Chain A
Amino acid sequence: MSDNETLRIGVYVCHCGTNIAAVIDVEALTKFAEGLPHVALARNYKYMCSDPGQELVKQDIAEYGLNRIVVAACSPNLHEPTFRRAAEDAGLNRFLVQMANIREQVAWVTEDGELALEKAKAHVAGAVRRVARHEALQRQFVRITPRAMVVGGGIAGIQAALTLAEAGKEVVLVEREPSIGGHMAMFDKTFPTLDCAACILTPKMTSVKVNPNIKLLTYSEIESVEGSVGNFKVKVRRKPRYINEDLCVGCMQCIDGCVFTQAKFPNSFDQGLGMRKPVWVPFPQAVPPVPVVDPEVCLQIARGKCKQGCVEACGERGAFDFDQQEKIEEYEVGAIIIATGFKAFDPSVIPYYGYGKYPNVYTSLEVERLLNAGGPTGGKLILRDGSTPKKVGIIHCVGSRDVNYHEYCSRVCCMYSLKIAHLVREKTGAEVYNCYIDIRAPGKGFEEFYNRVQNEGVQFVRGKVADITPVANGSGPLVMKVDDTLLGHIREIEVDMVILAVALEPHADAGEVRRNFGISCSNEGFFLEKHPKLAPVNTANDGVLVAGACQGAKDIPDTVAQADAAAAKALAMIDAGEIELEPNTAWIDEEMCSGCKTCINLCPFQAITADEERKIAVIDQALCKGCGTCVAACPSGAAKQHLFGDRQIDEELEGLMNYV
């Protein structure tokens, strides 16, 4: 404020319906505000954020020449932009507005009206004194890097990457496994339509491979993320494949040529039910169709001695490179979509289901592989001893809806259990018992599918299985003990195979991903959206979006819809071309800076550099996020921050404290 300017502050007290007005005497607060220095007018209104509420502010600015606005209402997180815009519409600089949060910080935290009024007065007094020191600021914009990164190459990541690429945007797709495809590539059929998963997924995978806008980085992980919305710098760690992706044509002859004649190492893609060689691809339609070499078991890499049948098979192409090293590549992107998916719950922690102890207890994901034509048994549902089960039990809600494991419903287990029941009957004609707590079939075509499977003769037992025991010692049939709540008695059902419908849960390293990208997670560890209803794919970190099961258990249709939503958000961001910076950035008063270099190391966003020639620190406004670290640390007060000047804070404190 220049000292000569006549301050005319308008104070607006919001009732927020009854959110504020039920606790705080808004009339008394308005009266109090009227008496504060430089306050030209104070009003209260039922919903300040409504159009008439904003109109009130605009009219008063025009009519009474208000040059500062204080809105005592909710958190500035919600409506500061609203009132800044209203002020700007009325010709006032948008930064001459201050909010006093009397809802979250006052009305919602007490039922004592008297105390609440006193505290609200202090907040308003602080805001009035602060806003008097506000200065008009220019809005600043920064160019957006017109490129997106998608992390995770499951169906969510594939869908998001394709949507972005089809809109002509460059996409960097990062997948940590040797191939994209994710869980969906493991399935045989998808519910409720029984589409062949591969038939609908592999065309998309191929599109990813051939789309010139997509840079595909498989067998790669995120190392670090710097920068912020519009301009992220992401370091990607590329694990050595020992095969040069550019030279490999995907003929797979190296796998035949490998000196191991037998595949004898468990294939993780097949849940360990199938075997692979040291050089392998997860599945035939892998994208990219480039094998990887497992350095732990490859004789050449592990022992340095091998006849190298693979190299011989590769021949002139010379794609093998046993000296390949891990490398770090850096990519600049404007927006990031996280689509890292889920992990299947490990049921071995539930002792009474005997998973890992009785060979005929399987997880649903293992059975998906057995049912898949590309799986270890070529699509035959057979037990470990090679026999075909005649009776199969499917246990729903394993790890879900159970306070001992996950309280939440995994949303897909009922439906995939119905699908598996159908496929088991179709392939083996076995008797199938689905033991469920409730059948949850709320999606499109889901209830119809449930009816269909019921009509196909699958038996439904409403009850939670309490115990699984073998009929005799060894690997023979099992008995499921279940309290059938519809019949009202405990049943013992003998089956050859038990399938555990396991929960979906966050990846073990989801916390690391979360920290890398600066986003939050819910109690269960799923990534947290910015708002559960109104910003379902945004996160607390602007420019970082989420899609698919990493945000919460969901099925393929929901995942694809969310992936497209995230892609649309990323497109909107990138196509805007530039993005408004936070106004509260730090800046260096060059006259005052002596170049002591106290601040340089402190900036968490690497926004500060030392200008050796002028002997001053320089802050890159595009990188500054306004955290204030340098401002607090600067010994000479040369580092200053918009909207957080010493005078502004001092005045606010004086207002708060003096009143109290």
Chain B
Amino acid sequence: MNEKKKKSKLAMYWAASCGGCEIAVLALNEKILDVDAHFDIVFWPVALDAKTRDVEKMADGEIDVCLFNGGIRTSEQEYMARLLRQKSKVLVAFGSCSHEGCIPGLANASGRRAIFDTVYHKTPSTENPDRIEPQVKTKMPEGTLYLPAFYDTLRTLDQTVKVDYYLPGCPPEADRIWDALTAIISGALPPLGSVIGAETTVCDECPLKRTEKKIKKFYRTWEKIPDGETCLLEQGILCCGIATRAGCGARCPKVGSPCIGCYGPNEGVHDHGARMMAALSSVIDSDDPEEIARIIREGIPDPIGSFYRFGLAASHLRRKKEKQIAK
């Protein structure tokens, strides 16, 4: 029992995200037992039956570490972010969604109205003749029902509350999670605000051979079988490894699949997509504006999805302006 007293208190929370980050914790395999040995898990809705009110009752800073995954899309998520911030000594933006918005953040290329139109009306499988949409307040004979408000813009965790550390990745690699947890256990934490992981890019961990880059044509992944030796980008496969933070061990390019950028930009870079675009536009092998336009048009049909798949919400772009959406 004495030993138990020494344990740190750990919380995990899941906001606007797919849930993969929760599963990623389980990828620690047998090390999950070490986690249990060092931490008391006080709040983890996906695994423990603890309620919000249990957290509300805690003293400020009572939780030692909170791993928060997911971006902030609803009023409930914002409430939980603020609450957990208040109750936690260390708040970690866990995974790409809380770090930089990730896939949910791509919805910032549109807005609440357009999202509702699609989800509740336009998809082929939707039948909604009464045009019912979720309401914050719904009066029923039994009483009033409340739903969280759906925000127009998805924000990252640090656009909502102060964040102490970031653990990037979609999801974070088990090894990096373990690094972070051992750092927390040993107290050997990097300076506040750090991203836990490598500083350089995926190229640093990638074994493929690089020469000088000159790209005449971009291939979609199904259009080309990589040769297994040469840098994927040099083969015309849009690999974001050159601008993406290392730490994953170059898992994707190693098996011939291009890096899609889930670890976000490397240290010191703010706008992941802008960096990627600047680099690519510099290595397209043509001086003819029309040919360049064609190479880009044919090879990169979805620039936001290609360059801002994970980082749109955190980028300089942040979101598309409302006015443009109205058109």
Binding site for B on A (CB under 8 A): 589, 591-602, 615, 629, 632-638, 646
Contact = CB atoms under 8 A, between A and B. Distances in A.
B267 A592 contact: yes
Binding site of A, secondary structure by majority: helix, strand, loop or mixed?
loop
A639 to B, nearest CB: 10
A634 B271 CA distance: 12
Contacts of B266: 592, 636-637
Contacts of A601: 212-214, 283
Interface in B36-80: none
B144 interface: no
Nearest to B246: A594
Contacts of B267: 592
B308 to A, nearest CB: 14
Contact of A592 (B199, B233, B281): B199
B200 A598 contact: no
A601 B243 CA distance: 18
B238 interface: no
B212 A636 contact: no
A595 B203 contact: yes
Nearest to B203: A594
Nearest to B204: A594
Interface string B261-282: 0000111111000011011011
A600 B199 CA distance: 21
A424 B275 CA distance: 73
Kindly list the 5 A-B residue pairs having the minimum CB-CB distance in the complex, ordered from nearest.
Answer: A635-B243, A594-B203, A633-B282, A635-B279, A635-B242
B212 A633 contact: no
Given A592-B268, A632-B278, A597 B212 contact: yes
B210 interface: yes
Interface residues of B, number: 30
Given A597-B211, A597-B212, A636-B275, A602 B269 contact: no
B278 A635 contact: yes
B276 A635 contact: yes
Interface of B: 199-204, 210-214, 231, 233, 241-243, 246, 265-270, 275-276, 278-279, 281-283
Contacts of A596: 201, 203, 210, 213, 231, 233, 241-242, 279
Contact of A629 (B211, B212, B282): B282
Given A598-B279, A632-B282, A633-B278, A593 B200 contact: yes
Nearest to B285: A601
Contacts of A600: 212
A595 B265 CA distance: 16
A189 B274 CA distance: 67
A613 B228 CA distance: 22
A594 B268 CA distance: 14
Contacts of B268: 589, 592, 637, 646
Contacts of A633: 278-279, 281-283
B199 A598 contact: no
A19 B203 CA distance: 54
Contacts of B199: 591-592
A165 to B, nearest CB: 42
A633 B201 CA distance: 15
Nearest to A591: B199
A320 to B, nearest CB: 44
A632 B281 CA distance: 10
Contacts of A594: 200-204, 242, 246
Contacts of A629: 282
B212 A634 contact: no
A636 B263 CA distance: 13
Contacts of B279: 596, 598, 633-635
A491 B220 CA distance: 82
A4 to B, nearest CB: 15
A133 B291 CA distance: 40
A648 to B, nearest CB: 14
Contacts of B282: 598-599, 602, 629, 632-633
A417 B303 CA distance: 69
B265 to A, nearest CB: 8
A637 B204 contact: no
A90 to B, nearest CB: 33
A638 B203 CA distance: 13
Nearest to B283: A598
Given A601-B283, A633-B282, A636-B266, 15 more contacts: A591-B199, A592-B267, A593-B200, A594-B246, A595-B204, A596-B210, A596-B233, A596-B242, A597-B211, A599-B282, A602-B283, A615-B204, A632-B278, A634-B279, A635-B242
B240 to A, nearest CB: 8
A370 B203 CA distance: 73
B295 to A, nearest CB: 16
A598 B278 CA distance: 10
A596 B205 CA distance: 11
Nearest to B205: A594
A586 to B, nearest CB: 14
A629 B279 CA distance: 10
Given A596-B210, A598-B282, A635 B275 contact: yes
A632 B274 CA distance: 10
Given A602-B282, A635-B275, A646 B203 contact: no
A632 B278 CA distance: 6
11 contacts: A592-B266, A592-B267, A596-B233, A597-B210, A599-B282, A629-B282, A633-B278, A633-B283, A634-B275, A636-B269, A646-B270
Which interface residue of B204, B246, B270 has the most chain A CB atoms within 10 A?
A: B204
A162 to B, nearest CB: 43
A187 B231 CA distance: 65
Contact of A595 (B210, B243, B270): B210
B203 to A, nearest CB: 4
A598 B283 CA distance: 7
Nearest to A599: B282
A598 B267 CA distance: 18
Contacts of A632: 278, 282
A591 B233 CA distance: 22
